[in-house]
Amino acid sequence: MKSIFLTLSVAACFNLSTAEAQSYSLWPKRPPEIEQARRLVRSKDFDKAVEILRPFVTQQGVVGREARKITAAVQVPVYLSRKNPYASIYTVRAGDTLNRIVNTTHCPVEVIMMLNGITDPSALKAGQKLVVTKMDLRVEVYPKMRELCVWDGEDLVASYDIVVLTMPPSTQNVKTKIEAREGILDGDTLARRSTQYLSSQRLLKLADGNSIGEANNNPSPNIVLNSADVNELALLLFVGAEVLIINEE
């Protein structure tokens, strides 16, 4: 195996004491680095915690999964904030719309609004400075482990449990990409410019015909995540993002 919003805090992402009680009661022999990373997170030394966990996030089994969960809880708030390593400044030009800026910067509309406190997209003004982040990340789906991970090069960004998987079994890896990001509300597909888009359920369509979404989407996606995870994943990804479905051992 290879490699919400600005006020979102690591404490809100996961509960250390609960995770420890669930995992460690059934796993008495664990690498000391896992507990060390947890202590570092509690003391807000996030960079060091991520570095310590780096050798473990590509492992299978309980060790790898726990390392990925801790790492993701630290990384996601960074990537969805102004601290994102790809953050830059975009100067609004005369005639710019939010959708035009999205297409130029490859930063999802929700992220632009979130980073800049925008509530009325029509109020953009020429010369206005916006923080944008190019979401140049890739996805790896592991059907056998029921897990979906987001990577920035060799660095893990996010990890999500797959709740339901209806893709046909395969022994071959499949390379595809995000073909479309849609909003679904009451069974209808919404355009990104719709005033209801931000309150819709996200659906990520893949070029190979599969899709990622939540159970209540209609039609039902092939890869089902929890509702909060789907919406978070949609913030991290842009149309064209590479997706690798890993079916080989």
What pLDDT was estimated at residue 184? 77
> How many C-alpha atoms does 209 have within 13 Å on its Cβ side?
3
Beta bridge pairs of residue 178 = 206
> What whole-number distance in Å separates Cα of residue 178 and Cα of residue 201?
16
What mean pLDDT comes out for the span 176-192?
A: 79
Q: What φ, ψ does residue 176 adopt, rounded to 5°?
A: -140, -160
Q: Where are the domains of the chain?
A: 10-79, 87-133, 138-245
Strand runs labelled E in the chain: 87-91, 129-133, 138-142, 147-152, 155-161, 164-165, 174-185, 188-190, 201-206, 211-213, 223-224, 242-245
| CATH architecture, domain defined by 138-245 | Beta Barrel (2.40)
Residues 202/231, Cβ–Cβ less than 8 Å:
yes
Q: What is the token pair recorded at 110?
A: 């929700």
Percent of the chain having pLDDT more than 70? 83
Q: What is the token pair recorded at 108?
A: 């999802």
Q: Answer left, alpha or beta for residue 207, where phi above 0 means left and psi between -120 and 50 means alpha.
A: alpha
- Is residue 11 helix, strand or coil? helix
pTM confidence score: 0.83
What pLDDT was estimated at residue 146? 95
What mean pLDDT comes out for the span 64-76?
A: 96
Q: How confident is the model at residue 195 (pLDDT cuts 50, 70, 90)?
A: low
Domain 87-133 listed as CATH 3.10.350.10: yes
Strand runs labelled E in 57-200: 87-91, 129-133, 138-142, 147-152, 155-161, 164-165, 174-185, 188-190
Checking if the pLDDT of 139 tops 90, the result is yes
Question: What residue type is assigned to position 66 of the chain?
Answer: E
Secondary-structure breakdown of the chain: helix, strand, coil percentages, each rounded to the nearest 5: 35, 25, 40
